[in-house]
Amino acid sequence: MHRRSLLLLPLASPALAQAAWPSRPLRFIVPFAPGGPVEVPARFIAERIAPELGQPVIVEAKPGAGGALGIQHVIQANDPHTLLVTTSAVAVLPAMLANAGFDPRTDLRPVTMLTDAPMLLLARPDNPWRDLVGLLAAARARPGAISFGSSGAGSTTHLGGALLGFEAKVDLLHVPYRGAAPAATALYAGDTDLLVTGMGEAMPHLREGRLVALCVTSATRSPALPQVMAAAEVVPGYAMSIWYAMFGPRALPDAAVARLNALIAPLRTGTSLAQRMQDSGIALLLDGPAPLAERLARELPQWQRLAQQTGLKAD
């Protein structure tokens, strides 16, 4: 019996290893200020998968440096129970920072894309411009006098505003904040003139009439806001989107990636998250690690070339 048990042990090891994860609570690190839009899918997924995993899933904000501090925290911890829920800043930051301190292709494990959507350029209702045409005319007349807020230096929203200025040949002043929520607060307070932010964050402000949209950053108009012009209508060739994704550290085992996706993928349809994303004009993806790895491999060299050609860097 003893010899037979020893012979069977290697066959049982993979199952035991899979069953061992998670062995304690999970943490979803969001590298932006609390209350930002990336927390919406993070918290929804955390609440839904925790009962199936048999462990609590805690969503924790670690803002700073446009998302770099939270990303570095996950990489340095290299703990299979500490995952990253972030924006496309993970692809932008290595190009924008002189020393980002990480390479997402080798330091992180793709788990799944979460969402993908264009951004919006917002202003207060009392702004002197009625659309993007008027804004750009004013910016050309007063170089550097019109400011836009973003969710952080080196973030996707920073790059979206900076790239718009570059393509339109106007000088817009960038003002970084530690997340989308404080950037919106600054716009309300009159500290900035404009805000570049994601669709999910923008829609409540627009529905309440507290802010107005000057353009959407997609190549064509969004079905959710057909009355808002696409920036490409005024600045040909300009288009950007902001996507959210989940990554694990290098230590995250294959079995954990597979188990997470088995629990997350069914949330794509028939859930309040799916309805909320649809109402906000956001594509809910939840399509596994391969599309995320492909997106990362495609965008990293694009942003690196752009940084070299334009001189764009994190402030």
pLDDT of 13: 42
CATH superfamily of domain region 25-116+242-310 = Bordetella uptake gene, domain 1 (3.40.190.150)
Contact 121, 228 (CB under 8 A): no
141 pLDDT exceeds 70? yes
pLDDT of 12: 40
Distance of CA 156 to the CA centre of its chain: 8
17 pLDDT exceeds 90? no
Contact 119, 199 (CB under 8 A): yes
pLDDT of 106: 95
Residue of 18 and 308 predicted with greater confidence = 308
260 pLDDT exceeds 90? yes
pLDDT band with cut points at 50, 70 and 90 for residue 174: very high
What does the block give as tokens for 132? 């993007």
6 pLDDT exceeds 50? no
In angstroms, rounded to a whole number, what is the distance separating the alpha carbons of residues 114 and 24?
Answer: 24
pLDDT (tens digit per residue) in 143-153: 999 999 998 87
pLDDT of 315: 54
10 pLDDT exceeds 70? no
pLDDT (tens digit per residue) in 82-101: 999 999 989 988 988 878 88
25-116+242-310 and 118-233 in the same fold: yes
In angstroms, rounded to a whole number, what is the distance separating the alpha carbons of residues 87 and 197?
Answer: 12
Across the chain, what does the average pLDDT equal? Answer: 90
Element spanning 111, H or E: strand 108-123
9 pLDDT exceeds 50? no
pLDDT band with cut points at 50, 70 and 90 for residue 165: very high
178 pLDDT exceeds 90? no
CATH superfamily of domain region 118-233 = Periplasmic binding protein-like II (3.40.190.10)
Place of tokens 């462990």: 55
Q: pLDDT over 90 for what percent of the chain?
A: 69
Q: Where are the domains of the chain?
A: 25-116+242-310, 118-233
Contact 36, 67 (CB under 8 A): no
pLDDT of 307: 85
pTM listed for this prediction: 0.79
283 pLDDT exceeds 80? yes
What end-to-end distance do the CA atoms of the chain give, in Å? Answer: 67
15 pLDDT exceeds 80? no
Mean pLDDT of 134-141: 97
pLDDT of 67: 87
